[in-house]
Amino acid sequence: MKLLIVAGVIVIVALIFLYPGHSQIKALYIVDATQQVIVTRFGEVVAVKTTSGIYAKVPFIDTVISFDRRVLRIDAPPVAMPDKEKQNLVIDSYARYRIIDPVQFRKTLQTENNATSRLGDIVTSALRAEVARRDRFEIIGAKPIPGETDEGLPLIEGTESRSALLEAVVAGVRLRINANEKTEGLTVPDLGGAVTFNIRLTQEVLDSDNADLDRNPKTGITASDINITSGPDGGKTPGIDVIVTGFDPATNSAAFAFQPDETPEVGSLFRVRYFVERDEPFGIDIVDVRIKRADFPDSVTPTIFTRMRAERNRIATKFRSEGDEEDLKIRAGANKEREIILANADREGNQIRGEGEAEAIRILAEALEQDPEFFAFRRSLEAYRKFLSQQTTVILSSEADIFKFLQGPGTGVAPAP
């Protein structure tokens, strides 16, 4: 009997420490280097482990819940957002975050899937707010500069505006995971001739634009952290008649005034929006936010392609006209050079031909001076060859000079033909 009891105890102990199945019945659990763990007992957190190692717990009672301690990624869905010029851009973004307080994370977001959905909405909201304050060039991170490329396209210079946009988005996301937007309705009081008035807000305002760059939402609070979302509009000056002119952190009071030429009625309702501290922070830290792409909506894609084709056709037409112009220049230059070469050749040919004829005349004259009779005889033979070789009938007097050498050689000198 004792052996059975001992064997049963050994089996139970082995199951508690070595059972490979469900972790709740184990007395030991392992925390990986990539994990952080909270241990709950009847739903209450009794331990938090953020360093790797082997730890003990109460079997069957304690539950181990693990979370990733690495940097996690959120892919927000592409959303159409209007820029400062009211032109929509489809922006696809992602964010990276790290769980820094697993207890608070479990209490507010519970799982990483819930965090992906909730934080994706927050990233989109913060990005939308910053995009609405910038034009297309600032969002893309470039600006046009004077001049054109060789193809006739405008020159574009890269800027750091995209980095500034993302820094502002990261600040906005960090604010939203630790704060809530609050909308409060206020009324215009009886000013009694005054031009400004102060109203104390019901909750403490947080620094939403991080103008002081200290990442502390409780310092650097200014009038820009309070936005008027609706109110009276008299129509004389564009926009809501009531404007925020200042903020006093000591009393949590905002200073208001009216736009020029506007005088709202006493009791007119207007609403302000500002950020207040969240009761339950998410227990995470946003590492960064990035934009994967910023494109035009699909509805305007055909128009963009049409403009691109028109632009390319314009460039092609320009290249063709420049090519035709260059072709005419080359042909005109070649024809001109050809005419110059031919003219020079004719001039040199005539000069050489004249010099040759002059040389021939000189040689002929020298030959004539050396033996006039022989020269006359040779010239007569040439004359005989020309007219006697042809079947031509010529009637001449027998006493003609041309027949002198036919009568007998050396009897006279024939005239030159």
pLDDT number for residue 55: 87
Query: What is the domain extent for residue 220?
Result: 72-298
Q: In terms of domains, do 94 and 8 share one?
A: no
pLDDT number for residue 417: 43
Q: In terms of domains, do 219 and 274 share one?
A: yes
Give the CA angle between residues 337, 339, 342 to the nearest 5°: 110
Is there a domain that residue 303 lies in?
A: no
pLDDT number for residue 208: 78
pLDDT number for residue 403: 64
pLDDT digits (tens, 9 = 90+) for 323-356: 999 999 999 999 999 999 999 999 999 999 999 9
Q: Which two tokens stand for residue 96?
A: 């990276």
Contact yes or no for 257/247 (Cβ under 8 A): no
Q: In terms of domains, do 261 and 381 share one?
A: no
Strands, E assignment, 208-266: 227-230, 242-248, 253-258
Contacts of residue 5, Cβ cutoff 8 Å, sequence gap at least 6: none
CA 45 vs CA 41, 64, 105: distances in Å: 6, 10, 13
**Interatomic CA distance for residues 363 and 349, integer angstroms:** 21
**Interatomic CA distance for residues 294 and 279, integer angstroms:** 35
pLDDT number for residue 411: 47
Is there a domain that residue 304 lies in?
A: no
Q: In terms of domains, do 240 and 378 share one?
A: no
Q: Which two tokens stand for residue 230?
A: 């609706």
Question: What's the mean pLDDT when you consider all of the chain?
Answer: 82
Radius of gyration of the chain (CA): 53
Is there a domain that residue 182 lies in?
A: yes
pLDDT number for residue 404: 65
Tally the residues of the chain. 417
pLDDT number for residue 376: 73
pLDDT digits (tens, 9 = 90+) for 149-171: 766 667 777 788 888 888 888 88
Query: Terminal CA-to-CA distance of the chain, rounded, Å?
Result: 166
CA 64 vs CA 12, 18, 98, 376: distances in Å: 20, 16, 20, 142
Q: In terms of domains, do 242 and 112 share one?
A: yes
Using CA of residue 279, residue 280, residue 283, residue 289, what is the dihedral sign? negative
pLDDT number for residue 152: 66
**Interatomic CA distance for residues 244 and 229, integer angstroms:** 11
Question: How crowded is residue 208: how many other Cβ atoms within 10 Å of its Cβ?
Answer: 23
pLDDT number for residue 414: 44
Q: In terms of domains, do 152 and 217 share one?
A: yes
Q: In terms of domains, do 237 and 147 share one?
A: yes
The domain total for the chain is: 4
Q: In terms of domains, do 96 and 62 share one?
A: no
Is there a domain that residue 410 lies in?
A: yes
Contact yes or no for 71/118 (Cβ under 8 A): no
**Interatomic CA distance for residues 269 and 186, integer angstroms:** 6
pLDDT number for residue 413: 46
Q: In terms of domains, do 148 and 211 share one?
A: yes
Q: What is the mean pLDDT of each run of 10 residues along the chain (417 residues)?
A: 59 48 66 90 87 85 88 90 87 92 90 90 90 86 77 75 87 85 91 86 84 72 88 86 91 91 89 88 90 82 80 84 91 93 92 91 80 74 70 68 60 45
- Burial environment of residue 231 by CB neighbours within 10 A (0 to 12, 13 to 18, 19 or more): buried
**Interatomic CA distance for residues 224 and 245, integer angstroms:** 9
